[in-house]
Structures are given as structure tokens and as C-alpha cells.
Amino acid sequence: MPFIASDHVRTARATLADHQDTASFSVSHVTNIATVEAEWRTLQSTPAASPYQGYSWVRGWLEHVALPNGLSPIIGIVRSGDNVEAILPLVNETRHGITVSRFVGGSHNNINMPLMGAAFAARATPSMVVDILDCLAADCGGVDVFELTNQPLDWAGQANPFARIRSGKAPDPLYFCALADDFEDFARDRRSAKSLQTLRRKRRKLETEFGPIAVSRAETSESFDRAWAAFMEQRGARFATQGIHNVFQDPEVKAFLESGLKAGLGTERDEDGRLAIQSLSAGDTILATYLTISSGTHVSVVANSITEHESGAKHSPGILLLEHLLKTCCEAGVRTFDLGAGALPYKEEWCDRLDLYNTHLPITPIGSIYATAARANAAAKRHIKANDRLWSLAKSVRAGLAARGRQRQSPDA
């Protein structure tokens, strides 16, 4: 049953022509993703498609998050003749009279970009991309500004021309690494012998205090329920301590992830972006979890959690689980891996920084005002996060405000 009531495909088309050394393109849009499922699956099967542009991930996010929050799907289609050359999975959001067009998935995506064929990506110039977005705005009507955030300049050896227009660095880089056939070779290349010995020592101490360690991927409803409950409890406790809104408790986000994880139970990693949850237990207690999504030969960490209990956390169960996850990826032939955006020491130990870029393309005068403010906001965030003292102060203030809020809510206060 389609989750978008309208099956309407816009027939008005804007044509791009007269670009040197390129064929003419037509630009249109659909509002129902199901109408382009076959073309979508063809493009997502290429190596240069990230897991976050997979059909199942995008459809699930539209159904569970976008539509309940009043976001309008705008799936841009770029054709050359009868061939679909690129798909832009976007949603429009209108606030305070400004309509902003963004990538589907929003902050839940580690990686944003269109789906593109290799030939299109190679010949699409910045001026062509601007024209494509101008034509898309005209075709769907009402867009004030395109805000295309967290895009890599290149992915899997293919250029991303949409990250090369009106762009600036995003506040946070992506933590990304190329894997090896042999995990031991990869680990020796990334970590010192001393740090690897420390991990083995922590594993032994964890087993001594809690019992035998077991790592598993949820394959049944029962194992999923147990791992998911641990993730929600651990992540909630961490957010509360940090003074961060627990997005995983939002009903729409929770339903989106639960639906995707349940759909992935018992399935193998594939190009469709299946979600999986893995956990590390010691004795009868789950001490850490990882949520991952995969496509082709890439695996991405969506989120993770570790116990807040000091007796377990001090033995780094999250790092132990990550080590196991990386090892299984190497053994399965996974070529690349990412730990998401946002700087944390453990990410630096295993991955390299890959800069992401934000594109703000205004269509109307009010869109220009928004784009200028958005660029300034991103630059300020990037400056604060790049300065250890400022970022530490910001986190301390945030945690302090959260602690005061919990104190005021306490019945004994």
C-alpha cells in the first residue's frame, strides 16, 4: 500500500541545453518514490552509492519521519533522453515562511549526496548543477533555497558535483577508513602494539569481572528486543548526562529505526542498505551495541551505545565491540568503513578524517538571506569544534544546564 497518497508525476519539464561537451538533460520530479523504484535500484547498485541513498532507507525515512512531520517529498529526476542519469532525494520544509529543500534523512544520514551514474558525475560541471537545481525549483515550485549538507567531494572514486557549488566545509568531518583483507594487518597499521595489548588486557579483565564475552548480531525478534532495549537505555542515559535531546525517543525516529532493523533480521548485508544491530555481552549483561547500515562493500555506523555503569565502562566494551565489527568486515570482504561524523578519540584511533561540505543555493531573495545565515552558523560551529578549549567549554555548559534541569525536576528538589 503506497504511503504517499498522490501518485502524481509532474509532466512539466525544464530542459538544459547548450552546455559544452554535454548532451541535453531534462529535469522533473515525483512525489511518490515508488514511481521510480526500478531506476532507483539501478543507480543504487553502483559502487558510488552510499547506504544512506538506498531505496529502503529513504522510503522508510519518508514514511516514518518526513510525512508525520509535514515534510514534502521532492524526488528530483535528471534524464538524458529516456535514461535516468541522477536522482536527488529531497524533502521540502517550510518554516517562518521560508521553504528549504534538503536531502532525505537529514541529520540521521552520515553521508548525503544524489544517486548518479558514473558518466553523469564525470561530465556535470558546477554551472550545470546550478542549472539543474534552478530547473528543479521551477518544476516543483515554491523552493526558496537548497540546503544540501554533509556531502563528500568524492565517494568511491566518483566525483560529487553537487558538493562543488556554493559550498563550505561542514562543522564535522566523516571518520572513514579503507579496510584490508587481513584484520591483523589493518589493526597493526592503525594502532600501536601497546594499544592493542591494552585492549586484550581489558578484555580479560572484563571477562573476569562479568563473565564470558559474547558478540552477536540480532537475527531473531527475541535477540533484537534485548539488544534494542539495551541500546535505548544506554543511549538515553548518555544523552541525559550530556544534556542532549534524545532523538531516539522521538516516536517517528524510533519507529523508523525499529522498522528498518526488524526488516534486516536474518538477512545478509546487501546493496539495499539493510540495518543491523550488534551487541557485546559479558555474562548476562549487554554492555555495548552498534547499529550499522551497509551497501555494496561499505559499512557505516549509524549509532552506538555503551553502558553508563563505571564497573563495565572502564573496560571499554564499545571499543572491544568495534574491534570485533571491523574484524568481521575485513573477513566479509568489506572495503570501506565509517564511524560517522563528530570528533571522538576512539574514531581517531581507527579512521581518518574525510571533510564534508555544505551547499547553500538560494533561489529567491529570502532564500539568499537564509543561505547567508546558514553559512555563518556552520562556520561558527566549525570554529568552536576546532578549538579544544571552546568545544570543551560548550560541552561543559550544556551538561551543567542539563544537570540543573534534572535537579529541578527531582521530587526532592
- 159 & 46 share domain: yes
Residue 81 covered by a domain? yes
Q: Quote the pTM value.
A: 0.87
- 243 & 113 share domain: no
pLDDT in tens, 167-207: 789 999 999 999 999 999 999 999 999 999 999 999 999 99
Q: Which three cell numbers stand for residue 290?
A: 552498534
pLDDT, mean of residues 108-114: 94
The 10 Å CB-count burial string (b at 16+, else e) for 31-60 is: bbbebbeebbeebbebbbbbbbbbbbbbbb
Euclidean distance between CA atoms 156 and 241, whole angstroms: 37
Q: Is 246 left (phi over 0), alpha (psi -120 to 50) or beta?
A: beta
Specify whether the CB–CB gap between 129 and 162 falls below 8 A: yes
Residue 186 covered by a domain? no
> What CATH number corresponds to the domain at position 268?
3.40.630.30
- What letter does residue 393 receive in the DSSP assignment? H
Helix boundaries (H) for 90-212: 118-123, 126-140, 183-190, 193-210
- 51 & 111 share domain: yes
pLDDT in tens, 206-258: 998 888 999 999 999 999 999 999 999 999 998 888 888 899 999 999 999 99
Smallest Cα–Cα separation from 103: which of 372, 358, 340?
358
Which residue type, as a one-letter code, is found at position 54? G
Residue 332 covered by a domain? no
Which residue segment(s) compose the domain that 257 sits in? 197-315
- Dihedral of CA 42/46/48/54: which sign? positive
Euclidean distance between CA atoms 214 and 279, whole angstroms: 8
- 163 & 38 share domain: yes
Residue 346 covered by a domain? no
- 246 & 128 share domain: no
Report the half-sphere exposure of 313 (CA within 13 A, side-chain side).
8
Q: Which of 121-125, 269-273, 285-289, 381-385 has the lowest mean pLDDT?
A: 269-273
- 146 & 246 share domain: no
- Indicate the SS3 state at residue 303: strand
Q: Helix 193-210 crosses helix 183-190 at what angle (to 10 degrees)?
A: 110
Residue 181 covered by a domain? no
pLDDT in tens, 252-270: 999 999 999 998 887 765 5
pLDDT, mean of residues 102-123: 93
More confident residue, 390 or 176: 176
pLDDT in tens, 15-41: 454 444 444 789 999 999 999 999 999
Residue 52 covered by a domain? yes
- 19 & 110 share domain: yes
- 375 & 303 share domain: no
- 219 & 366 share domain: no
pLDDT in tens, 370-385: 999 988 888 887 777 7
Specify whether the CB–CB gap between 246 and 235 falls below 8 A: yes
Residue ending a domain, among 315, 346, 381, is 315
- 33 & 149 share domain: yes
* Number of folded domains that form the chain: 2
- 163 & 206 share domain: no
Euclidean distance between CA atoms 129 and 17, whole angstroms: 12
